[in-house]
Amino acid sequence: MPRHPRIHLDDVPLHIVQRGHNRQPCFFTTADYLASQVRHFLHASD
């Protein structure tokens, strides 16, 4: 059975959880996270 569609309400914040495969962490250090953010923003600015 498919999931119900998500409800999106304007001006209501979303709670987002990011996990890796088998719920493993995606980032192990702050440096990993910051490097990922830099790559994301460099790509977005192109």
Give me the helices (H) in the chain, please: 30-44
pLDDT of 8 reads 87
pLDDT of 1 reads 86
Q: Burial level of 11, CB count in 10 A (0-12/13-18/19+)?
A: exposed
Tokens for 31, please give them: 């440096």
Distance, in Å, from the CA atom of 27 to the CA atom of 13, rounded to the nearest integer, reads: 23
Distance, in Å, from the CA atom of 39 to the CA atom of 11, rounded to the nearest integer, reads: 28
pLDDT of 38 reads 94
The pLDDT averaged over each successive group of 10 residues in the chain (46 residues) is 89 85 88 92 85
